[in-house]
C-alpha cells in the first residue's frame, strides 16, 4: 500500500511538472514572432543590394549563412513550426550554396554556369514563397 501511494504521488508530481512546463513554455504566437524576426533579417539582406563582384556574392552568402545558423538555433515545441524551420533552413542552405557558386562562376566568367545557377534560383523562389504563405497562414490562425 505504501509503495502504491509513493508511485501515485510521483505520478502526480510528474504530471504537475509537465503541466507547468507546458504552461510556462512560449506561446505559438511568441514562437511565430521569433521565426518571423529572423526571416525578416534574411529578406532585409536583399533590399537595396545589387551584387557586382564575387566578393559581393560571398558577402551575401555569409550574411545568409549567419541567419540560417540563427534560425537553426531556435527551439520550437510546436511540430509544425519545427517543420517550417527545417524547410526554411534547407532552402536557405541552397541559396547560400548558389550565391557562393555565383561568386565562383562570376570570377571565372563562366556564363553557362551563371545562367544555370540563375535558373536554379528562379526555380526555388516559388518554393520559398509557398512556404512563406503556409507559415503566415499557420501563424495567423493562432
Which range has the worst mean pLDDT, 20-29, 61-70, 91-100? 20-29
Task: pLDDT band for 9, please (50, 70, 90 cuts).
Answer: very low
Residue 72 Cα distances to 51, 86, 106, 133, angstroms: 26, 8, 29, 20
Are 104 and 116 contacting, i.e. CB atoms less than 8 angstroms apart?
A: no
C-alpha cell at 137: 497562414
Report phi then psi at 116, rounded to 5. Answer: -60, -45
The percentage of the chain sitting over the pLDDT mark of 70, rounded to a whole number, equals: 82
pLDDT value of position 26: 82
Give the torsion through C-alpha atoms of 94, 100, 103, 104, to 10 deg.
-110
Q: Is the pTM of this model over 0.75?
A: yes
Q: Give the model confidence (pLDDT) of 91-116 as tens digits.
A: 999 999 999 999 999 999 999 999 99
CA atoms within 13 A on the CB side of 97: 8
- Band (141; pLDDT cuts 50, 70, 90): confident
Amino acid at each position: 500500500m505504501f509503495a502504491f501511494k509513493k508511485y501515485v504521488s510521483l505520478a502526480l508530481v510528474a504530471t504537475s511538472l509537465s503541466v507547468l512546463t507546458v504552461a510556462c513554455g512560449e506561446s505559438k504566437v511568441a514562437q511565430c514572432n521569433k521565426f518571423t524576426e529572423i526571416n525578416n533579417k534574411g529578406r532585409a539582406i536583399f533590399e537595396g543590394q545589387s551584387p557586382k563582384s564575387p566578393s559581393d556574392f560571398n558577402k551575401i552568402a555569409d550574411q545568409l549563412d549567419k541567419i540560417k545558423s540563427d534560425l537553426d538555433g531556435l527551439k520550437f515545441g510546436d511540430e509544425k513550426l519545427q517543420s517550417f524551420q527545417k524547410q526554411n533552413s534547407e532552402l536557405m542552405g541552397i541559396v547560400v550554396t548558389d550565391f557562393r557558386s555565383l561568386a565562383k562562376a562570376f570570377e571565372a566568367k563562366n556564363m553557362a554556369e551563371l545562367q544555370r545557377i540563375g535558373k536554379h534560383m528562379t526555380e526555388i523562389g516559388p518554393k520559398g514563397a509557398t512556404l512563406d504563405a503556409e507559415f503566415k497562414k499557420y501563424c495567423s490562425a493562432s
